[in-house]
């Protein structure tokens, strides 16, 4: 198999070959490490490549598999994590000068679970500082921003910038990001990936640099829906180290993956108040095409409405998110604020000015919005909605670039906690990925995957890769 | 940045705070608010900061399990 063929395998395909001993974990890891060497000076998906540790882990995986100790579909699969995931003994700086000397003493629970599954950690991925920001890119961090593999002069979307870039560029087979108000879904949208923000509490937040205690949601970013389901199955489940961790059993997300959508009622969110005007033509057209595809696959398509304007959800996420970030990082802001980048400092200073009255009002409004949003979600089996309103913007104009983060339909499902997955819905006239998101009921990621897979199977978008 | 915090507000700062947030109070109550302000600020400042970023607040919002 050529290097290109290796790099273009999905994790599902590679896992089956690894299990059958038709592919070596060492060969697979080496292909990705060579890919990193070949393209990452241009893509900048990594902040730290763990080449020797990856080679060591790959050799161990090969010994284990050959000895009959196969651990499952992730055994030998190369992955990478956003550099806000703690990794024992390995620098975790979250893109910041302030944390440049931080070496955690323990792994994030998600990393432990992926390691236990036999996956091979390639390194730490680029990120906005502290995994957050104000939507802009200011080139004032110790690392250059990641570049979009579909057009290196364009933004990846944030804050899981490197995770989006790595899977699209082939510098990682699968990746883990984190989403507070869109930070998995927006880079997935901009980089043409399938990116899941699961139900809040499904994946442990333990060992991930906190941004907002009550909304942070880790999530897998992958090329295919099957890969996403494989990753989620490995990392999901109760963790006593995370106070918000859900105690529900984790289903087999692959069991009904190919069940299709025949007989399902799927809602389409076409109009959502004044912000509807910002949805660009290409994304709007592909959302309609997605509805048509699902209808041809046998779903009943119905119109649905959000119970409130996106701006109302966004106001709640801003007050909660900024307040909690400022609380978490108060010491850093006071002692080392001058060393922070403009975007992080902006956010923390804003959060430091929010009154408790307003924060609690936001949490009370959140409960109300979550209940109303749940009523909408439960009126159908699943729904599709816009996610990013724009294709990947160019770096050249920061005001335009910021609209990717300020104009989208991510906040409703961070407020409510419902699972929401970005899927690639095609490409615009310039070859840039378009997107939509699939949403289902709390803890019903299986239905999200089922709908997303039905759409993926009926389209050819996964056959097209960036021409790096 | 300085970490010295007195919690003190001037009367003008209280007036500005009320104006900023639409707190319409008669003048004697604004003066009373000024009298209270130092205690309020110092009470908040006196809450120990958690030693680790991982130390979380008591939750008021969790996903329903049923």
Domain ranges for chain B, please list them: 11-45
Is A183 labeled as catalytic in the residue annotation? yes
Q: Which residues of A touch B62 (CB under 8 A)?
A: 201, 244, 246
Across the range A36-65, mean pLDDT stands at: 98
Q: What is the mean pLDDT of chain A?
A: 97
Report in angstroms the alpha-carbon separations of A183 from A141, A249, A381, A420: 18, 26, 25, 12
Question: Is A24 a residue of the active site?
Answer: no
Distance in angstroms (rounded) separating the CA atoms of residues A269 and A305: 6
Q: What was the pLDDT predicted at B65? A: 63
Q: What is the pLDDT of residue B2?
A: 42
Query: What is the helix, strand, coil percentage profile of chain B, to 5?
Result: 45, 0, 55
Query: Which of residues A274 and B65 earns the better pLDDT score?
Result: A274
Question: For A341-348, what is the mean pLDDT?
Answer: 92
Instruction: Check if A82 is active-site.
Output: yes
* Max Cα–Cα distance, chain A, nearest Å: 61
Average pLDDT value for residue range B8-31: 90
- Contact residues on chain B for A338, CB-CB shorter than 8 A: 1
Instruction: Report the SS3 class of residue A435.
Output: strand
Predicted local distance difference test score (pLDDT) of residue B1: 37
Q: Which of A10, A24, A96, A159 is catalytic?
A: A159
Cβ–Cβ of B63/A417 closer than 8 Å?
yes
pLDDT grade for B4, boundaries at 50, 70 and 90 = low
Structure confidence at residue A239 as a pLDDT band (50, 70, 90): very high
Q: Give the pLDDT band of residue A324 (cuts 50, 70, 90).
A: very high
Give the strand pairing for A217-222 and A194-197.
Answer: antiparallel
Per-residue pLDDT at B66: 58
CA–CA gap between residue A239 and residue A246 (Å, rounded): 8
Give the integer Cα–Cα distance in Å for A296 and A262.
9
Give yes or no for A86 touching B (CB within 8 A): no
Question: Which among A328, A333, A363 has the least Cβ separation from residue B60?
Answer: A363
What is the pTM for the complete model shown?
0.95
Contacts of A367 in chain B (CB under 8 A): 61
Q: Which two tokens stand for residue A67?
A: 């000895």
Of the candidates A82, A124, A197, A347, the residue annotated as catalytic is: A82
**Chain B contact residues (CB < 8 Å to A):** 1, 3, 21, 49, 53-54, 56-57, 59-65
pLDDT above 80: residue A8? yes
Structure tokens at A25: 């974990």
DSSP summary character for residue A113 = H
Q: Is residue A215 within 8 Å of residue A317, measured between CB atoms?
A: yes
- For A247, other C-beta atoms within 10 Å of its C-beta total 9
Burial of B28 (0-12, 13-18, 19+ CB in 10 A): exposed
- The residues pairing with B7 across neighbouring beta strands, listed in sequence order, are none
Chain center to CA of A80: 12
Shortest Cα distance, chain A CAs vs residue B45, angstroms: 12
pLDDT given at position A432: 98
- Best B16, B54, B58 residue to mutate vs chain A (most A CBs within 10 Å): B54
Once rounded to an integer, what is the mean pLDDT over residues B11-18?
93
Interface test with B, best of A243, A249, A332, A340 (most B CBs within 10 A): A243
Per residue in A224-237, pLDDT tens? 999 999 999 999 99
What single string gives the DSSP state of each residue in A49-95? E-HHHHHHHHHHHHHHHHTT----TTTT-EEEEETTB-BTTB---TT
A338:B1 CB<8 A: yes
Question: Cβ atoms within 10 A of the Cβ of A387, count?
Answer: 29
Question: Over the stretch A188-223, which tens digit does the pLDDT of each residue have?
Answer: 999 999 999 999 999 999 999 999 999 999 999 999
Residues of chain B in contact with residue A200, where contact means CB-CB under 8 angstroms, are: 63
pLDDT tens profile A402-443: 999 999 999 999 999 999 999 999 999 999 999 999 999 999
For residue A161, give the nearest of A224, A213, A94, A212 by alpha carbon: A94
CA–CA separation, A196 and A110 (whole Å):
15
Q: How many Å lie between the alpha carbon of A229 and the closest alpha carbon of chain B?
A: 21
- Around Cβ A257, how many Cβ atoms within 10 Å? 20
**Per-position b or e across A310-329, b if 16+ CB within 10 A of its CB:** bebbbbbbbbbbbbbbbbbb
Half-sphere exposure of A196 (CA within 13 A, CB side): 38
Q: Chain A contacts of B54, Cβ < 8 Å? A: 206, 210
Query: What is the pLDDT, as a whole number, of residue A242?
Result: 95
- Tell me how far apart the alpha carbons of residues A141 and A340 are, in angstroms, rounded to a whole number: 8
Torsion of CA A335, A208, A319, A163, to 10 degrees: 110
Nearest-CA distance B2 → chain A (Å): 7
Closest to A280 (Cα-Cα) out of A345, A211, A189, A180: A189
Average pLDDT over residues A71-97: 98
Q: Which residues contact A292 (CB under 8 A, 6 or more apart)?
A: none
Any chain B CB within 8 A of the CB of A199?
yes
DSSP assignment of A378-402 equals HTSSEEEE--BSSPPPBTT-HHHHH
Pair A391, A150: CB distance under 8 Å: no
Nearest alpha-carbon partner for A195 in A155, A227, A149, A173: A227
Distance CA A402, CA A391 (A): 12
Interface test with B, best of A244, A247, A324 (most B CBs within 10 A): A244
Q: Is the pLDDT of residue B6 over 90?
A: no
Q: Quick: pLDDT tens for A116-174.
A: 999 999 999 999 999 999 899 989 999 999 999 999 999 999 999 999 999 999 999 99
Complete domains list, chain A, with CATH? 3-463 (3.90.1300.10)
Radius of gyration of chain A from its Cα atoms, rounded to whole angstroms: 20
Dist CA A330 CA A40 (whole Å): 34
Contact B61 A210 (CB under 8 A): no
Question: Is this prediction's ipTM beyond 0.85?
Answer: no
Chain B residues with beta carbon closer than 8 angstroms to that of A206: 54
- Cα A358 from Cα A214, distance rounded (Å): 16
* pLDDT tens per residue across span A291-304: 999 999 999 999 99
CB A432, CB A392: distance < 8 Å: yes
For A336, residues 6+ apart whose C-beta sits below 8 A from its C-beta are A98
């Amino acid at each position: 198999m050529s290097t290109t063929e290796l790099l273009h395998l999905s994790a599902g395909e590679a896992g089956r070959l690894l299990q059958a001993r038709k592919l070596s974990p060492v060969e697979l890891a080496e292909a990705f490490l060579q890919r990193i060497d070949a393209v990452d000076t241009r893509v900048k998906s990594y902040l730290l490549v763990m080449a020797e540790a990856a080679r060591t882990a790959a050799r161990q995986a090969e010994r284990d598999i050959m000895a009959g100790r196969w651990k499952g579909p992730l055994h030998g699969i190369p992955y990478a994590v956003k550099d806000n995931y703690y990794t024992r003994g390995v620098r975790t700086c979250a893109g910041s000068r302030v944390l440049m000397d931080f070496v955690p003493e323990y792994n994030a629970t998600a990393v432990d679970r992926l390691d236990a599954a036999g996956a091979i950690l390639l390194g730490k991925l680029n990120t906005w500082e502290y995994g957050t920001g104000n939507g802009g890119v200011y080139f004032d961090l110790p690392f250059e921003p990641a570049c979009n593999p579909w057009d290196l002069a364009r933004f990846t979307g944030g804050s899981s910038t490197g995770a989006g870039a790595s899977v699209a560029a082939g510098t990682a087979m699968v990746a883990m990001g984190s989403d507070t108000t869109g930070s998995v879904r927006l880079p997935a949208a901009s980089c043409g990936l399938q990116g899941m923000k699961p139900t809040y509490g499904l994946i442990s937040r333990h060992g991930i640099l906190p941004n907002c205690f009550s909304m942070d949601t880790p999530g897998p970013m992958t090329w295919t829906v099957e890969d996403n389901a494989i990753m989620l199955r490995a990392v999901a489940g109760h963790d006593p180290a995370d106070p918000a961790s859900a105690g529900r059993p984790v289903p087999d997300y692959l069991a009904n993956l190919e069940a299709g959508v025949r007989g399902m009622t799927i809602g389409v969110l076409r109009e959502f108040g004044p912000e509807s005007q910002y949805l660009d033509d290409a994304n709007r057209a592909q959302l309609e095409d997605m509805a048509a595809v699902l209808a041809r696959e046998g779903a009943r398509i119905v119109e649905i409405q959000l119970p409130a304007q996106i701006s109302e959800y966004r106001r709640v996420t801003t007050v909660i998110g900024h307040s909690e970030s400022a609380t978490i990082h108060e010491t850093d802001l006071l002692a080392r604020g001058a060393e922070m980048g403009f975007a992080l400092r902006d956010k923390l200073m804003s959060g430091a000015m929010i009154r408790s009255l307003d924060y609690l009002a936001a949490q009370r409004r959140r409960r109300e919005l979550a209940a109303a949003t749940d009523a909408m979600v439960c009126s159908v089996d699943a729904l599709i909605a816009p996610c990013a309103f724009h294709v990947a913007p160019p770096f050249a104009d920061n005001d335009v670039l910021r609209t990717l983060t300020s104009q989208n339909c991510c906040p409703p499902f961070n407020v409510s906690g419902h699972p929401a997955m970005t899927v690639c819905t095609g490409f615009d006239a310039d070859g840039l990925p378009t997107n939509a998101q699939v949403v289902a009921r709390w803890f019903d990621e299986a239905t999200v995957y089922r709908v997303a897979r039905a759409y993926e199977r009926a389209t050819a978008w996964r056959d097209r890769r960036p021409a790096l | 940045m300085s970490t010295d915090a007195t919690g003190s507000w001037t009367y003008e700062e209280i007036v500005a705070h009320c104006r900023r947030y639409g707190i319409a109070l008669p003048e004697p109550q604004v003066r009373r608010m000024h009298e209270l302000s130092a205690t309020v600020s110092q009470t908040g400042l006196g809450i120990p900061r958690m030693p680790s970023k991982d130390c979380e607040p008591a939750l008021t919002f969790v996903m329903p399990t049923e």
